[in-house]
């Protein structure tokens, strides 16, 4: 099903390199099994899969939150580390929920991760202003997160991820908890932000339309344990419209393609829910 | 002109407020004041009834009031109170420091929990008087024996409350701090400590309340000085009015200390929740 199309990729083709990845939380049931994936520098890729297939686990492994049982993960030619305080490739992570420290103001939330990333005190304020401005939330610099709306909190979370100037930004269904209008605005802004920054971005979602709207390439995972079973190149020109008929057509093709693989096809009838 | 009063708020803070005439107070506040007045009058009536029933062994309200006036104007009362307050402070500070340290360590480390859990459970079950008697038997009636006994009695309570707070922390914030590689100390200060702060406040208040009650008991049993010793002395001289008056004075001082220390601290630590 691989499609050819416009690609913005010109730098290192294997900026993120994952080979033979195997992750299991209990040592018995694999969450990710034998997963291979490469992402080029500056690329925007989406990871698409059904709920519970292991998409988040994949991001956890890339960020070093979980240690894989087997396999290789390299970002910018360096293996990712695990654990607090460990020196490794800087990674920005936007979680499904914002995960801001509610007892710290917006600026302090950014300052904490910037300090942990080794940014000097002189530079921190400027960096905070720059990224809050980029995400249109400068007015909330000294506000407690609890006083912000869901969309504003997620903007802060994105600003935090970008402010550390990471090698890669990982996003785990960041708009899934927002209302549809806010989510659309956020997607639009994210697409523009990526075009401006040229940041390498891995975006996990279970929404095919969202993946098509945002990404250059879509890695489709199996139902679980997670394994890449297809890669879709999205050739629709940017800036894209969410309602673009070309996206609708691609969405229909992908739905048809994954139906059987995700256990909703005719061959899976009778097995669903068992 | 009107009347002014020092008011202890719900969260322990102290303010000076102009008293509003009762007819102008409405709603829930009026109900609270009415309930307080009714409960106080009822308690005083029950006490006076006990005076009649006991044939004078229970001192009348008037006798207590007179004793209160006499003790409140005696320098010795405050000298004894100071001795007790010093002991309370030492016990409270030691028990809080050890209890919080151990509680946080147990909440964060499974190994530490496995080792200390049975000890803490056993220590919680031991009656406080046993600690006091054993300490007197081992260390004599020296002041330090009582203090050590009290610290041993209080630490398990503090540990128990703190473990609960640490255990209930948000695992999402742990993941966030791991992704952004927060150093161990920063993680403890910026992520764990703030989440545990409500439990810490509860543990501190519990420790304070228990420490003064137990110190008074220790003083009555084994010390020649202190408010506890004075209360016991009044009891032996069959002066129950002075016994009660000294207890009331001491409680008033402690409530004031609690209000001017814990109140502002609580508002500072938990202000972000507002």
pLDDT in tens, B76-89: 999 999 999 999 99
- DSSP 8-state assignment for residue B57: S
The alpha-carbon gap from B227 to the nearest alpha carbon of chain A, in Å, equals: 41
Kindly state whether residues B42 and B129 are assigned to the same domain: no
On the question of pLDDT at A84 being above 70, the answer is: no
pLDDT of residue A268: 53
Cis previous bond, A239, omega within 30: yes
Band (pLDDT 50/70/90 cuts) for residue A94 is very high
Band (pLDDT 50/70/90 cuts) for residue A5 is very low
Residue in chain B lying closest to A80 (CA) = B179
**Distance of alpha carbon A29 from alpha carbon A27, whole angstroms:** 6
Kindly state whether residues B117 and B239 are assigned to the same domain: yes
pLDDT of residue A7: 38
> For strand A44-48 and strand A30-39, is the pairing parallel, antiparallel, or unpaired?
unpaired
Range list of β-strands (E), chain A = 16-24, 30-39, 44-48, 70-75, 78-79, 91-94, 168-172, 201-205, 217-221, 228-233
Kindly state whether residues B159 and B43 are assigned to the same domain: no
Kindly state whether residues B212 and B258 are assigned to the same domain: yes
CA torsion, ordered B51, B53, B55, B56, to nearest 10 deg: -10
Residue in chain B lying closest to A144 (CA) = B272
pLDDT of residue B212: 86
Kindly state whether residues B175 and B211 are assigned to the same domain: yes
pLDDT of residue A3: 41
Contact status, residue A183 vs residue A12, Cβ threshold 8 Å = no
CB contact under 8 A, A99 and B176: yes
Given B172, B183, B197, which is nearest A84 (Cβ)? B183
Q: Residue A205 pairs with which residues in a beta bridge?
A: A48
Residue in chain A lying closest to B171 (CA) = A99
pLDDT of residue B15: 64
CB contact under 8 A, B173 and A95: no
Q: Please give the average per-residue pLDDT across A206-223, as a whole number.
A: 93
What is the ipTM metric for this complex?
0.84
CB contact under 8 A, A113 and B182: yes
Count up the domains in chain B and report the number.
2
Of the two residues B241 and A88, the one the predictor is more confident about is B241
Of the two residues A20 and B140, the one the predictor is more confident about is A20
What residues of B are in contact with residue A124 (Cβ under 8 Å)? none
Q: What are phi and psi of A200, to 5 degrees?
A: -75, 125
The alpha-carbon gap from A162 to the nearest alpha carbon of chain B, in Å, equals: 12
pLDDT in tens, A147-198: 999 889 999 999 999 999 898 999 999 998 888 888 899 899 999 989 888 8
**Distance of alpha carbon A23 from alpha carbon A30, whole angstroms:** 6
pLDDT of residue A182: 86
What residues of A are in contact with residue B192 (Cβ under 8 Å)? none
Kindly state whether residues B106 and B176 are assigned to the same domain: yes
Q: B116-145: buried (b, 16+ CB within 10 Å) or exposed (e) per residue?
A: beeebeebeeeebeebbeebbeeeeeebeb
**Distance of alpha carbon A167 from alpha carbon B152, whole angstroms:** 51
CB contact under 8 A, B272 and A63: no
CATH number at residue B178: 1.10.3720.10
CB contact under 8 A, B186 and A112: yes
CB contact under 8 A, A164 and B182: no
On the question of pLDDT at B236 being above 50, the answer is: yes
pLDDT of residue A6: 36
Q: Please give the average per-residue pLDDT across A239-251, as a whole number.
A: 91
On the question of pLDDT at B27 being above 80, the answer is: no
**Distance of alpha carbon B266 from alpha carbon B11, whole angstroms:** 8
Kindly state whether residues B27 and B83 are assigned to the same domain: no
Kindly state whether residues B224 and B148 are assigned to the same domain: yes
Strand order in the sheet with A44-48: A91-94, A168-172, A201-205, A44-48, A217-221, A228-233
Kindly state whether residues B50 and B135 are assigned to the same domain: no
pLDDT in tens, B190-221: 999 888 888 888 888 888 888 888 888 888 88
Kindly state whether residues B31 and B86 are assigned to the same domain: no
Given B179, B183, B194, which is nearest A103 (Cβ)? B194
Kindly state whether residues B77 and B28 are assigned to the same domain: no
Q: Please give the average per-residue pLDDT across B38-44, as a whole number.
A: 93
pLDDT of residue A266: 65
Residue A75: which residues within 8 A CB-CB, separation 6 or more?
A15, A16, A62, A89, A91, A167, A168
Kindly state whether residues B227 and B113 are assigned to the same domain: yes
Mutate to test the interface with A, among B173, B178, B192 (most CBs of A within 10 A): B178
Backbone dihedral region of B13: left (phi > 0), alpha (psi from -120 to 50 degrees) or beta? beta
**Distance of alpha carbon A265 from alpha carbon B249, whole angstroms:** 80
- Which 3 state secondary structure label does DSSP give A37? strand
Q: Please give the average per-residue pLDDT across A208-217, as a whole number.
A: 95
Q: Which range of residues forms the domain containing residue B7?
A: 3-54
Average pLDDT, chain B: 86
CB contact under 8 A, A88 and B181: yes
């Amino acid at each position: 099903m691989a499609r050819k199309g416009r690609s913005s990729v010109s730098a290192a083709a294997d900026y993120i390199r994952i080979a033979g990845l195997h992750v299991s939380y209990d040592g018995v049931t694999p969450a990710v099994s034998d997963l291979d994936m490469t992402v080029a520098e500056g690329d925007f890729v989406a990871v698409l899969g059904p709920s519970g297939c292991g998409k988040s686990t994949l991001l956890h492994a890339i960020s070093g939150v979980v240690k894989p049982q087997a396999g290789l993960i390299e970002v910018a030619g360096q293996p990712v580390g695990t654990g607090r305080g460990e020196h490794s490739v800087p990674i920005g992570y936007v979680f499904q929920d914002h995960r801001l420290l509610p007892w710290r103001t917006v600026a302090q939330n950014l300052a904490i991760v910037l300090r942990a990333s080794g940014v000097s005190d002189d530079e921190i304020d400027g960096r905070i202003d720059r990224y809050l401005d980029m995400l249109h939330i400068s007015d909330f610099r000294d506000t407690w997160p609890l006083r912000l709306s869901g969309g504003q909190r997620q903007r802060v979370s994105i600003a935090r991820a970008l402010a550390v100037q990471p090698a890669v930004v990982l996003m785990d269904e960041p708009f899934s908890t927002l209302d549809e209008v806010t989510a659309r605005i956020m997607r639009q802004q994210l697409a523009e932000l990526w075009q401006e920054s040229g940041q390498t971005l891995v975006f996990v979602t279970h929404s095919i339309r969202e993946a098509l709207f945002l990404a250059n390439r879509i890695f489709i995972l199996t139902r679980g344990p997670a394994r890449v079973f297809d890669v879709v190149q999205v050739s629709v020109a940017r800036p894209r419209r969410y309602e673009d008929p070309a996206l609708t057509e691609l969405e229909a093709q992908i739905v048809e393609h994954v139906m059987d693989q995700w256990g909703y096809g005719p061959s899976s009838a009778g097995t669903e829910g068992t | 002109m009107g009347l002014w009063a020092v008011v202890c708020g719900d969260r322990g803070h102290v303010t000076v407020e102009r008293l509003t005439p009762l007819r102008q107070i409405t709603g829930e506040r009026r109900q609270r004041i009415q309930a307080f007045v009714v409960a106080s009058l009822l308690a005083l009536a029950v006490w006076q009834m006990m005076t009649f029933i006991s044939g004078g062994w229970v001192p009348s309200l008037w006798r207590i009031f007179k004793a209160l006036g006499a003790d409140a104007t005696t320098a010795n009362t405050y000298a004894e109170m100071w001795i007790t307050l010093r002991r309370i402070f030492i016990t409270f500070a030691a028990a809080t420091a050890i209890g919080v340290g151990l509680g946080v360590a147990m909440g964060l480390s499974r190994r530490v929990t496995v080792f200390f859990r049975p000890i803490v459970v056993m220590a919680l079950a031991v009656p406080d008087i046993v600690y006091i008697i054993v300490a007197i038997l081992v260390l004599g009636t020296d002041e330090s024996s009582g203090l050590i006994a009290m610290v041993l009695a209080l630490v398990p309570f503090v540990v128990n409350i703190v473990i609960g707070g640490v255990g209930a922390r948000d695992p999402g914030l742990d993941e966030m701090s791991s992704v952004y590689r927060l150093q161990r100390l920063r993680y403890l200060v910026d992520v764990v400590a703030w989440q545990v702060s409500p439990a810490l406040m509860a543990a501190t208040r519990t420790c304070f309340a228990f420490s003064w009650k137990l110190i008074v008991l220790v003083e009555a049993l084994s010390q020649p000085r202190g408010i506890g010793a004075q209360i016991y002395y009044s009891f032996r001289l069959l002066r129950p009015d002075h016994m009660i008056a000294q207890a009331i004075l001491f409680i008033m001082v402690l409530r004031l200390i609690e209000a001017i220390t814990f109140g502002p601290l609580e508002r500072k630590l938990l202000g972000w929740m507002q």
